[in-house]
Structure 1
């Protein structure tokens, strides 16, 4: 891809106005919102924590994280996504910090976090292995890496084909749980996989592809 970062940012900027129309993006249905809140409660520490939400999109998970009492920082390459995330938390009366930048190398300097969360992001990354190395280095010892991922056909979220050259992205069709675990295992002390495909409420309806959460301790 020519200037992939610019192409990817433009794609997701164009997708931003309709992004929350997807049930698992906007979390507008009470049962879907509650299902994600329950999962995050199970994955994240019970005490207030510093959470980095990479590829935060419009901030729906960031909002739930802040609502649970955590200190959230969201990063996304698309300025319009970040603008919607900021507006979403402000409207809810919640605190959150949102930065425009490459989620693969978050612009947070030397800051460390208790949790790094990513949902459905790695398929968009030109070098996911480098991103995983970067992410684990941003987490405090004893902290958590939480990756919500899956294996699916190449697709974006705006109803139009993804950026030119997307077929060359290493994980452009997503990644199976076993393969992601293999990539992450050398970087962490332990990990587990939590299957999510059967929980239709999370997605606003039944899904037939592989979806899961990988939870790893640093």
Structure 2
């Protein structure tokens, strides 16, 4: 795996600067493949936490489609902008929080949606901590719907700070296996305007009790 010269993930302050420079191109409503996964595995009405919600584009889309939504991000500026852009009529609340230290009052949830957070962590240690945090966020038997950068083979994996850290499927499966069973994996472009590279779209179920993971169903 190619290593970054600076393996530390971006801080909340660095993300604040990103949002001060304008709307990131990746901050957009769900693409059609992600919308289909949501409809198939977690149709509304459902309580959903949008982890790393950014400016709230996905959270607002979820609320507009009948979900009860909590959006969390550790960038205070992103949360302030998300609140300002969200009509009061929508059933969505935003909170400044790091999902790895999420206050107990915010969870756990039957469904957690995460798009592009895991692949922003360049080190495997940070990724393991994040997966464990997602297990705490999800109720036993709850779903984690993940969208993140993929690599075709382990040899082509890329670990970096700025830009997505790509993981091959064997690496991803080994990473999530201690806490989740993979129900479905498909591959589609990450965003409609942000990137044309292929991203993993996965639906994972949190273990209700310790047990071996099952094979993923192809979408």
Q: TM-score when scaled to structure 1? A: 0.73
Task: Check if 1:138 corresponds to 2:126.
Answer: no
Per the alignment, residue 201 of structure 2 pairs with 213
Is the 1:146–1:213 contact (alpha carbons within 8 Å) kept by the matching residues of 2?
Answer: yes
With 124-133 and 75-84 compared, the bigger mean Cα shift is at: 124-133
Is the 2:117–2:148 contact (alpha carbons within 8 Å) kept by the matching residues of 1?
Answer: yes
Deviation at 1:114, TM superposition (A): 0.8
Is the 1:53–1:118 contact (alpha carbons within 8 Å) kept by the matching residues of 2?
Answer: yes
Task: Check if 1:100 corresponds to 2:96.
Answer: yes
Unaligned runs of 5+ in 2: 1-7, 151-157, 207-219
Residue aligned with 2:27, SS: helix
Higher helix share: 1
Q: Distance in 2 between matches of 1:130 and 1:145?
A: 15
Unaligned runs of 5+ in 1: 28-32, 158-171
Match of 2:18 among 9, 15, 20: 15
Residue aligned with 1:203, SS: coil
Q: Distance in 1 between matches of 2:15 and 2:21?
A: 10
Residue by residue, what CA displacement relative to the aligned partner does 1:102-142 show, whole Å, maximum 9, x if unpaired? Answer: 12332344722011111111133461112211211221233
Change (3 A) 1:153 1:68: same
Match of 2:186 among 167, 170, 194: 194
Q: Distance in 1 between matches of 2:33 and 2:86?
A: 17
The two structures, once aligned, show a CA RMSD in angstroms of 3.1
Residue by residue, what CA displacement relative to the aligned partner does 1:44-92 show, whole Å, maximum 9, x if unpaired? Answer: 522411111111111111111111111111111111101111122227x
Q: Distance in 1 between matches of 2:47 and 2:31?
A: 22
Per the alignment, residue 25 of structure 1 pairs with 27
Deviation at 1:150, TM superposition (A): 0.4
* Count of equivalent residues: 191
Higher strand share: 2
Is the 1:75–1:103 contact (alpha carbons within 8 Å) kept by the matching residues of 2?
Answer: yes
Task: Check if 1:121 corresponds to 2:120.
Answer: no
Q: Distance in 1 between matches of 2:137 and 2:194?
A: 34
Deviation at 1:182, TM superposition (A): 1.8
Is the 1:115–1:146 contact (alpha carbons within 8 Å) kept by the matching residues of 2?
Answer: yes
Deviation at 1:8, TM superposition (A): 1.2
